[in-house]
Chain A
Amino acid sequence: MKLRYVLTIILVVSLSTPLHALTGREIMEKNDALPEADTSLSTVLMLIHKGERVTEKEFESSSKKYPNSEDKLLISFTRPTRIKLLTHACKGRDDDQWLRLSSGKIKRIASSDKGKPFVNSHLYYEDIGSRDIDDYSYTLLEDAKAVGNDCYAVQAVKEVGEKVYSKLILYVRKSDYFIVRIDFYEGNEFHKFLENHDIRKIDGILTPYVSTMTLADGKGRTELKILELEYNKELRDSLFNKEALR
């Protein structure tokens, strides 16, 4: 079971109106049950806004579902760098992440570095990939409006592995249980938020074509725009091997 929100494609199911008041966990289970692709292949444009400066980066993202929620994700930059980041989701513990530099050198990202910016963007290494629904505890908060939608607001606190964020507030669209916004807290501080826009249904899977991570103080944001996308294309397992990075 996976709770996905960045760089991976989110599936949606049509839902019937609940007969009783849902708990936070139940809402997230409904989100987790949204249809998702076995594989995805996309080209993403990353726009990093810092001050008056905008830096463009482009990468290809490949992901593949594996049993026991141990999905794998490979991000390969095509410009301006040629870095690759391989993420192996691991049940019950922090994901493994390896970084491959243009020179071919490979380094594993230490858990303690999961809260560090990824390629100078407003995303952390922690934000890359997917998250296991069981890694968090959930509390339902008051309903809220987010990105123009009526939403359930669910507080999620990580219970497993390195805790980069003290809590997340997930805004789950009431109409389809799709997450449209996430607030990230570090300590007691509201640090940044992610919003999903231009949500399209591709092959039955709800997919945000634009995701924006914005700093709470308004000093910067990172936009992710999907340029190309293909679901359920055959992807070799070897593509996601650490050794294949070399």
Chain B
Amino acid sequence: MNRYIYFVLKNPLPILIMLIILTAVLIPGIFRLEFDNSVESFMPRNDPDYIYYEELKRIYGDNGRFAIMALSSDNLWSGEALSTLDQLLIDLEEYKDFNEEKETARLERFDSIASRGEVRYSDLMAAFADDPPFQRLLTRKAQTRDNTGLIGARRLEKLRAGIIRSMNFKGQEIVDKVISPLTAEDIKGENDVLETYNLVEQDENGRRILPSTEPEIDLFKRRLQRNPTFDKGLYSRDSRTGEITDFCVVIKFINLDDQDPAIREMTEVVDPYRDTFTIISSGVPVVNMWINIYMHADMFRNIPLVLLGVILIFYLNFRSVRGVVLPFVTLGLAELWILGLMGYMGFRITPVGISIPPLMIAVGSSYSIHLLNQYYADFDAIMGRDKREGLYQSMTHISLTVLLAGLTTFIAFMTLATSQVSAIREWGIASAIGVMFAVFISCSLIPASLVLLPGTRPSALFRRNKAKKTVVDRIIALMAQGAIIHYRKVLIVVGILVALSLAGVSRINIETAFLNYFKEHDTVKLQAEAIGDKFGGGWGYDIVIDSGKVDGVKEPAFLMMIEQFREWLIADDNRRLNIGRTESFSDFIKTMHMAMNNDDIAFYRIPENRWDIIDYLEIYSGDDEDSDGRFDEFEPFVDIDFRYCNLLARLCEKEDYHVGTTEISRIATEIAGHLDRTLPEGFTYAISGFPMMNVKLVRYIVTGQLQSLLLSLMVVGLIVILLFRQIKAGPLALIPMSVAVIINFGLMGWLGINLDMATSVIAAITIGIGVDDTIHFLNTFRHHRGRGMSIDETIRRTLAVSGKAILFTSFALVFGFSVLTTSNFFPIVLFGILTATTMINTTIGALLVLPSVIKATGINLDPPENGPRLGRYLRIDKSFGIDQNGTTQQD
């Protein structure tokens, strides 16, 4: 390290140029970054529940993750509204059935028009007058309705890119199914004629013949209300008047690992129709999209704010331009480098990965503040002799400590690279590399800049030294007094706090309710509640009942049992189950039975005769696009052998009550209990679906984070043991971090803050900063102790030197992260509060608790004559240039 610092000071300009080049190389990687909160990024491939869930998706499709919309309008029953709905459906259906020939012809025609260089918008529209869906696509992509303007070559190029993007989605046929009143089919049997029919008839080219006159619209209305299955499935009614108020449009996707790009494309399609309809949309992909948007927006809105806050404290600390610019550039570069590298490595920003930018701010600030603080502390000595030599003397010691802290954190995070959960694994690798980036940049940029910059002493700092003690000085004096004189009291208070916190820890709920991420009146939350109210929910369980034999699902007794179970799920007495609607294969049988009995509603039930069911399935008329032996309509509900029945039970979000992971588990347990009691012998069941995977996902993230925290702590302890060649140094080093973590979790327990995906990532920040503070304190302590000072004096000196930097860092980060409390997104607010708390905790841990323990136990960190056997071989202290007295070796 010393040699590197020497090299940096000798070649400052090439070093700075190298930093610029590396930044330029890495920045483009940022544009490759994508957000990903998919289940797949968190699930170990060998998890049995996940394997089962994937199997279910393969057999029955992705039933739990759909987009659901309620469309309402004052003129819902007008030809105009129906025509607009038809246009929306046509636009959506283009993503279901890809017509390559048509799309290629469209693009060719567009290219031939665009080849003119610039085109009047109205001319472009006129060129596609025979293709209204493509006109609408162009309008969406052009984001203009000004039909007079000219579209220049660059905008045309952009427009083309938009068209190609949509074409790619269409080519993938991302939409599996669109369910709506205009696309629905029914079966009727009036006047002894059995007929499967579209609620809205189609011409020979498959185009819908929309009802436009009053009698036609009345007929459509009657058809819609004829089949009880459609209530809350295709429409919702006003609970008071019974009038149909909303049409339901459900978009089911093909099996996609990440639905986010698909739902964004669909949202782009739907948005223009908000002029005609009031559209409420929800469902897993929609809520996830909003979480991603909020996270993204908050990250890019709040990180600059956090940086601004941090800069302000930098300025207040150092009162110099370089005191602001150098740390700022350091953490800025560390941020850009790691995000860029992640982009190049194909890593994605997951809910865990979102902690990487703030982590970089934390460690980047810390490292640069330590370096600058040392610079100002040694300012007189530096200026008193050859500047380069002075800087070398000042920087070598502190940069070595920074490297030690960074390497310890690096190893701690790198241990996560073995995790079987890809999101945790990627997080470990990225964080570890990011920390080393921060070390490298701070140890390169700051010495190189300082050697080039004129050696002017900041007047404020100068005045401050001359004047009375600053707040920081007073706090440090207070800490020193506490650790040296009142250490017993300090330890007792800490002991009590830890005990109270442990009691709080036991109260922590491991719970993630995604809708609780949004503030009270946030539209995402309100829309999810409205969808729950109108259509019984936007996501749900897959409850698979095994009849025990091939064709068992066709047995009346089995289907009747399914019906009884469904009734139980939505019974008034079972409202605590929060099931808003159920769908099952039995709906088809009931519909057929009614049709075969002249549409008599009394026959909307399961027939007693087995032959009826077998015959209904023989004469049921539907498409079987994938030719797997099941009609497309049956696919979500039965397997090809008709042995398993998949019942879909929608979870309903209600006002002031959002179904979180704990609740999902509780409901599943209650359903399982009911099935255990009531399911006849020979039948078995399994409860799965996206909500259950969510429970697992959150558990994996939270436990993964906690395990990583424990693992990191152990690794840190081990490294400190090897570094100081004393076993007792390990537990000692863990005290500040452990106290910080326990108090943090205790606080969460007492304040009722759930341990969820967002709050569990705080553990990483705790390690990042905790390791840094501890290593700085311990190394400086040993540095001074090695010079023959008493413990009291050593603590005083250590706090005066390292404590100041630690406090500066803490102030900067507490203030910086407090800015996050202004966020619109609840997890970010909590993240801000908890990170700020963690900073305070780790600082108190390092500056008060650690010296108090040293004082109380009299632990001597001098390296022993004969250290542990392992230490004799693993002399990493030597590798880092720490001599027997704990001082750094000088070249």
Contacts and interface: CB of A to CB of B under 8 A. Distances in A.
Interface stretch (B611-619, B651-659, B705-713, B796-804): B611-619
Interface stretch (B79-87, B312-320, B621-629): B621-629
Given A51-B627, A107-B596, A102 B197 contact: no
Nearest to A162: B204
Contacts of A101: 596, 611-612, 615, 619
Contacts of B321: none
A103 interface: yes
B605 to A, nearest CB: 15
Which of A77, A101, A102 has the most chain B CB atoms inside 10 A of its CB? Answer: A101
Interface in B300-345: none
A151 B442 CA distance: 83
Interface stretch (B149-157, B186-194, B377-385, B526-534): B186-194
A82 B609 CA distance: 13
A80 interface: yes
A196 B65 CA distance: 46
Contacts of A83: 615, 618-619
B239 interface: no
Nearest to A51: B628
Interface string B479-504: 00000000000000000000000000
Which of A48, A80, A110, A187 has the most chain B CB atoms inside 10 A of its CB? Answer: A110
Contact of A50 (B204, B205, B618, B628): B628
Contacts of A109: 193-195
B614 A80 contact: yes
Contacts of B821: none
A117 B621 contact: yes
A195 B761 CA distance: 65
B192 A106 contact: yes
Interface in B615-647: 615, 617-622, 624, 626-629, 631, 640
A108 interface: yes
Contacts of A113: 194-196, 621
B192 A53 contact: no
A95 to B, nearest CB: 14
Contact of A219 (B196, B612, B626): B626
B168 to A, nearest CB: 23
A53 B194 contact: no
A120 interface: yes
17 contacts: A51-B627, A53-B640, A77-B618, A81-B618, A82-B611, A99-B194, A101-B619, A102-B615, A103-B609, A107-B189, A108-B194, A112-B197, A113-B196, A113-B621, A117-B624, A120-B617, A220-B627
A168 B246 CA distance: 43
Nearest to B197: A112
A238 B611 CA distance: 26
Q: List the 9 shortest-distance A-B pairs measured between CB atoms, nearest first.
A: A116-B621, A219-B627, A102-B611, A110-B195, A107-B194, A220-B627, A50-B629, A101-B615, A51-B628
A82 B631 CA distance: 21
Nearest to A122: B627
Given A50-B629, A219-B626, A120 B195 contact: no
A163 to B, nearest CB: 7
A224 B119 CA distance: 60
Contacts of B619: 83, 99, 101, 119
Nearest to A105: B596
A102 B612 contact: yes
Given A99-B619, A103-B612, A163 B204 contact: yes
B612 A50 contact: no
B682 interface: no
B824 to A, nearest CB: 49
A105 B206 CA distance: 32
Contacts of B196: 112-113, 116
Interface of A: 48, 50-51, 53, 55, 77, 80-83, 99, 101-103, 105-110, 112-113, 116-117, 119-120, 163, 166, 187, 215, 219-220
A8 B611 CA distance: 28
A102 to B, nearest CB: 4
Given A51-B628, A51-B629, A51-B640, A110 B193 contact: yes
A82 B597 CA distance: 18
Nearest to B626: A219
Nearest to B204: A163
Given A101-B615, A105-B597, A108-B194, 4 more contacts: A112-B195, A119-B619, A187-B206, A215-B627
Contact of A110 (B194, B618, B622): B194
Given A113-B194, A117-B621, A81 B615 contact: yes
Nearest to A217: B627
Interface of B: 189, 192-197, 204-206, 596-597, 609, 611-612, 614-615, 617-622, 624, 626-629, 631, 640
Contact of A53 (B609, B622, B629): B629
A219 B630 CA distance: 13
Nearest to A100: B615
Contact of B614 (A102, A110, A219): A102
A239 to B, nearest CB: 21
Nearest to A164: B204
Contacts of A220: 624, 627
A87 B204 CA distance: 24
Contacts of B614: 80-81, 102
Which of B596, B618, B622 has the most chain A CB atoms inside 10 A of its CB? Answer: B618
Contacts of B205: 187
Nearest to A110: B195
Nearest to B625: A219
Nearest to B619: A99
A53 B611 CA distance: 22
A113 B196 CA distance: 6
A40 B803 CA distance: 104
A218 to B, nearest CB: 9
A99 B883 CA distance: 97
A103 B193 contact: no
A166 B204 CA distance: 9
Contacts of A51: 626-629, 640
A118 to B, nearest CB: 9
A77 B619 CA distance: 12
Given A51-B640, A82-B611, A117-B624, A108 B629 contact: no
A236 B195 CA distance: 30
A219 B614 CA distance: 24
A50 B624 CA distance: 9
A242 to B, nearest CB: 10
A59 to B, nearest CB: 11
Contacts of B194: 99, 107-110, 113
B194 to A, nearest CB: 4
Contacts of A219: 626-627
Nearest to B194: A107
Contacts of A119: 618-619
Nearest to A116: B621
Contacts of A77: 618
A77 B192 CA distance: 21
B558 to A, nearest CB: 17
A206 to B, nearest CB: 31
A240 B747 CA distance: 84
A87 B626 CA distance: 30
Contacts of A103: 609, 611-612, 615
Which of B195, B197, B597, B640 has the most chain A CB atoms inside 10 A of its CB? Answer: B195
Nearest to B607: A103
A83 B626 CA distance: 26
A78 to B, nearest CB: 13
A120 B627 CA distance: 10
Nearest to B631: A120
A215 B628 CA distance: 13
A243 to B, nearest CB: 13
A246 B318 CA distance: 100
Contacts of B195: 109-110, 112-113
A64 B631 CA distance: 34
B192 to A, nearest CB: 6
